[in-house]
């Protein structure tokens, strides 16, 4: 079987790029890693056509955990300012849930741009504009991903030796 990459990360959002960074870090950059996302390279982090849906809040604990584990610190400008807690409201504003504790307000457009640049610097490859539609199996084992290249409308297929994360 032709192997394109050791590891394929399907969906290069926040989780995908942190996973790719962790794999690069813990493999001492000895594995070839591919991150695939349907967004164009110019719009990283976009969740849907309406845009970047997120409240932009993040706990200090989560950021410290990543910094300690994969040695990727988050700083300015992806962190805009510190907070002592956040309040989440239901859409009708009738219900409010407080989250206490130190945290940060993030710039949700800058964060994925910077996140992608750092991930690339760690040796991870990216394919953008790919709409993944399914997994490729060899018996019960997942051996790759397939979909469509949004730009060329050509079928897209990549195989891997170890894992597909999605």
Ligand X SMILES: Cc1cc2nc3c(=O)[nH]c(=O)nc-3n(C[C@H](O)[C@H](O)[C@H](O)COP(=O)(O)OP(=O)(O)OC[C@H]3O[C@@H](n4cnc5c(N)ncnc54)[C@H](O)[C@@H]3O)c2cc1C
Interface residues with ligand X (CB under 6 A) are 11-16, 36-39, 47, 53-58, 130-132, 147
Closer to ligand X by Cβ: residue 28 or 75: 75
Q: How far is the CB of 5 from ligand X (least distance, A)?
A: 15
Q: How far is CA 124 from CA 17, 21, 54, 70, 111, in A?
A: 9, 8, 25, 14, 17
| Shortest reach from residue 148's CB to ligand X, in Å | 9
- Reported in sequence order, the residue ranges of the chain that DSSP labels E, i.e. its strands, are 5-10, 33-36, 57-59, 79-89, 96-106, 125-127, 130-138, 141-149, 155-165
Residue facing ligand X at closest CB distance: 13
Minimum gap (Å) between residue 10 Cβ and ligand X = 7
What CA–CA distance (Å, rounded) separates 74 from 81?
12
- In the DSSP assignment, the letter for residue 6 is E
How far apart are CB 108 and ligand X at their closest, in Å? 8
In angstroms, give the least distance from the CB of 124 to ligand X. 14
CB of 47 or CB of 121, closer to ligand X: 47
- Beta carbon nearer to ligand X, 93 or 139: 93
For ligand X, the closer CB: 20 or 31: 20
Cis-peptide, bond into residue 126, ω within 30° of zero: no
List the structure tokens of 148.
């469509």
Sheet bearing 57-59, strands edge to edge: 57-59, 96-106, 79-89
Q: For residues 54 and 117, which CB has a smaller minimum distance to ligand X in the complex?
A: 54
């Amino acid at each position: 079987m032709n192997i394109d990459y050791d590891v394929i990360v399907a969906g290069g959002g926040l989780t995908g790029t942190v996973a790719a960074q962790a794999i690069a870090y813990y493999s001492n950059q000895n594995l070839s890693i591919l991150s695939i996302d349907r967004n164009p390279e110019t719009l990283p982090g976009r969740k849907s056509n309406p845009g970047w849906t997120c409240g932009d809040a993040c706990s200090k604990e989560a950021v410290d955990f990543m910094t300690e584990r994969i040695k990727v610190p988050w700083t300015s400008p992806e962190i805009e300012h510190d907070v002592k807690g956040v309040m989440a409201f239901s859409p009708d504003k009738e219900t409010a849930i407080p989250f206490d504790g130190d945290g940060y307000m993030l710039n949700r457009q800058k964060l994925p741009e910077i996140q992608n640049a750092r991930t690339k610097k760690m040796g991870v490859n990216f394919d953008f504009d790919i709409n993944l539609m399914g997994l490729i199996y060899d018996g019960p084992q997942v051996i790759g991903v397939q979909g469509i290249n949004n730009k060329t409308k050509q079928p897209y297929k990549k195989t891997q030796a170890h894992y597909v994360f999605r």
